[in-house]
Chains A and B, each alone.
Chain A
Amino acid sequence: MNASGGQQGLIRYENVSMTYPSTRGRPPLKALEPVNLAIEKGEFICLVGPSGCGKTTLLKISAALLSPTQGNVVFNGAPLNEPSRSIGVMFQKPVLLPWRTVEKNAYLPAEISGTMSSAIAERVAKVLTMVGLHDFATALPDQLSGGMQQRAAMARTLAYEPELMLMDEPFGALDEFTRETMNLELSELTHQAGITSLFVTHNIPEAVFLADRVVVMSPRPGRVSGIVEVPFPKPRTVDFMRDPGFTELTFEVRNILSEAESSSTRVAEEQP
């Protein structure tokens, strides 16, 4: 059987690499060295690394918004060549349409796939209650705070029960307190629904708090420089952050990051 011990993974990256073609005389940009990784069903993976390490590139490849220059992405046993409705994406910004109410923003995926029904409306109402936006279903996005806007975006994704949820620093723009609350809620919601998650962040404690495995990436060109397992029960609570094991794991991630950074600096210095 294969390297991941017989398990195929819900999504699997086989030698996935990415080089952006040259533009306006600038040389081609190597964003991602071959990445090999398998994410199991129900797992929560956090992708950490310095800015420009190809985290977002890998996430976009996972959503089939970008196709890798080399290698394959296998989703549910089949090559992933185009966006899939079983994959939900959350971006850095909430990306809510400002002319649609919160509820109608959450209907958008169903409207586009032509599957809008009263069952969907019920599910949206339920998910809006889950994320605490029950009273804001008919509010316009600009009437909500930043945290509430990201909650609305989360509801738009969760209402369709995706098998895989891709999140690109969704709480990066929020203040520390809101961010912590959102992380707690996200941990609980994805755990309950059994949703497989790939979460990009450059916040190490956030990554350790959320993840079953933290995948650490090196500076550009990005590659996986280490994987840290977080063997603590889920859903996680605030108490987990006070556990000595939590601090230890953040140090472990930190160390892999600094090692990767210094070795990549050496490589850069060795080049003429």
Chain B
Amino acid sequence: MSTYTVPDQDTGADVELDVFIDERDPERWKWRAISIIVVLTFLAIWELLPRLGLVSTIILPPVTDVWAGLTELVMQDTFPRHLRVTLVEMLVGFLIGTLIGFAIGVALGVWESVKKSVYPLVVAFQSLPKIVLAPLLITWFGYGIESKIAMAVVIAFFPVLINTMVGLETVPDEARQLMRSLKASRGQVFRKLSLPHAAPFIMAGIKTGLTFAVIGAIVGEFVGSSEGLGYLLHAYGFQLRIDKVFAVIVVLSLIGAILYFAIDWLERRMIYWRTDSSLV
């Protein structure tokens, strides 16, 4: 069992989650089979409810129709453009948000005076539901890609900021004393102790930030845009092309999953030591 620290999505506070991971679980095949059966049952019910006339196909199109809608969608000439626009918004927003969050997090985590003077503002900003900023950002940055990037930045930077700050602040006292007894400079303490200590926290913040950037880009497109997957979703909804709505949702969840697993892979590469260690 491993303990993972994740920021709570509402409060930003760190929450510890106990996750059971055992790669050599002797029953893993059994559970894998059961989970596949659960998914298939879910899809079967989805298919049958509208087919048997229990639910209108306008409200819930059968899975097979969604699949047809999906193939139709990805074959459209305009699809690559919509996909590209949304990907650029998400990724650029995520990168800028991560950099801003990291920079502010370092400033808050390293300099006590910066924390004392700026932290109340940061908390006030966090308690704001960021979606209310969408119309404002569109007024400022226009109808195009920039306002969506801004929206992604605005929600993605916070988890990185808070986790960077907390990671830098939780360096154990004895490790600091060791560095002092070795006459390490402030820069050396930061590079050789604080930053690597904070790395697992920062990576967890980046993971959350990525999920948030996806939400930011889509919400930005909902509020006002002429291209992108969020725009398509909105447009198909108005046209009552619910099969296409579901098709876009499938594409979006695939994008989310791929990005998340990419970051997760990177994290496993970078954080190769046990983070619940009591050594330091």
Show the binding face of A for B, using Cβ within 8 Å.
Answer: 60, 63, 65, 82-83, 85, 87-89, 91-99, 108-109, 111-113, 140-142, 149
Could you tell me the distance in whole angstroms from the C-beta of B87 to the nearest C-beta in chain A?
33
The stretch from B177-185, B227-235, B249-257 touching chain A is B177-185
Show the binding face of B for A, using Cβ within 8 Å.
Answer: 172, 174-175, 177-184, 188, 192-193, 196, 199, 272-275, 277-280
| Chain A residues, CB < 8 A from B172 | 95
| Chain A residues, CB < 8 A from B199 | 99
Total CB contacts across the A-B interface at under 8 A: 72
Docked-complex contact B182 and A83, CB < 8 angstroms: yes
Q: Which residue of B lies closest to A140 (CB)?
A: B273
Docked-complex contact B178 and A89, CB < 8 angstroms: yes
Known: A98-B280, A112-B184, A140-B272. 9 other contacts (CB 8 A): A60-B177, A83-B181, A91-B174, A97-B279, A98-B275, A140-B273, A140-B274, A141-B279, A142-B279
Docked-complex contact B178 and A95, CB < 8 angstroms: yes
Tell me which of A93, A111, A141 contacts B174 (CB under 8 A). Answer: A93
Identify the interface centre among B177, B181, B273, B280: most chain A CB within 10 Å of its CB. B181
| Chain A residues, CB < 8 A from B279 | 93-98, 141-142, 149
| Chain B residues, CB < 8 A from A96 | 279-280
Docked-complex contact A142 and B273, CB < 8 angstroms: yes
| Chain A residues, CB < 8 A from B175 | 95, 97
Could you tell me the distance in whole angstroms from the C-beta of A196 to the nearest C-beta in chain B?
16
| Chain A residues, CB < 8 A from B192 | 97, 108, 111-112
Q: Which residue of A lies closest to B271 (CB)?
A: A99
Cα A141 to Cα B179 in complex, Å, equals 18
Docked-complex contact B196 and A95, CB < 8 angstroms: no
Tell me which of A60, A63, A108, A142 contacts B277 (CB under 8 A). Answer: A142
Cα A141 to Cα B280 in complex, Å, equals 10
Cα A140 to Cα B279 in complex, Å, equals 11
Also in contact, A108 and B174, with CB within 8 A (given A93-B278, A99-B196, A142-B277): no
Q: Which residue of B lies closest to A156 (CB)?
A: B178
| Chain B residues, CB < 8 A from A108 | 182, 192
Cα A96 to Cα B181 in complex, Å, equals 14
Also in contact, A65 and B183, with CB within 8 A (given A95-B279, A98-B273): no
Identify the interface centre among B179, B184, B273: most chain A CB within 10 Å of its CB. B273
Docked-complex contact B181 and A63, CB < 8 angstroms: yes
Cα A82 to Cα B182 in complex, Å, equals 10
Docked-complex contact A89 and B274, CB < 8 angstroms: no
Instruction: Across the A-B interface, give the 6 residue pairs with the lowest CB-CB distance, nearest first.
Output: A98-B273, A98-B277, A142-B274, A89-B181, A99-B273, A112-B184
Cα A111 to Cα B178 in complex, Å, equals 14
| Chain B residues, CB < 8 A from A113 | 182-183
Cα A63 to Cα B199 in complex, Å, equals 30
Docked-complex contact B180 and A83, CB < 8 angstroms: yes
| Chain B residues, CB < 8 A from A149 | 279
Could you tell me the distance in whole angstroms from the C-beta of B58 to the nearest C-beta in chain A?
56
| Chain A residues, CB < 8 A from B182 | 83, 85, 108-109, 112-113
Q: Which residue of A lies closest to B193 (CB)?
A: A97
Identify the interface centre among B180, B183, B277, B279: most chain A CB within 10 Å of its CB. B279
Q: Which residue of A lies closest to B179 (CB)?
A: A112
| Chain A residues, CB < 8 A from B196 | 97, 99
Docked-complex contact A98 and B181, CB < 8 angstroms: no
Could you tell me the distance in whole angstroms from the C-beta of B176 to the nearest C-beta in chain A?
10
Q: Which residue of B lies closest to A97 (CB)?
A: B280
Could you tell me the distance in whole angstroms from the C-beta of B149 to the nearest C-beta in chain A?
34
| Chain B residues, CB < 8 A from A60 | 177
| Chain A residues, CB < 8 A from B275 | 98
| Chain B residues, CB < 8 A from A142 | 273-274, 277, 279
Could you tell me the distance in whole angstroms from the C-beta of B102 to the nearest C-beta in chain A?
19
Could you write out 22 A-B pairs with CB less than 8 Å apart?
A: A60-B177, A63-B181, A82-B183, A83-B182, A85-B182, A88-B181, A89-B177, A89-B178, A93-B174, A93-B280, A95-B178, A97-B193, A98-B273, A99-B273, A109-B182, A112-B179, A112-B182, A112-B184, A112-B188, A112-B192, A113-B183, A141-B277
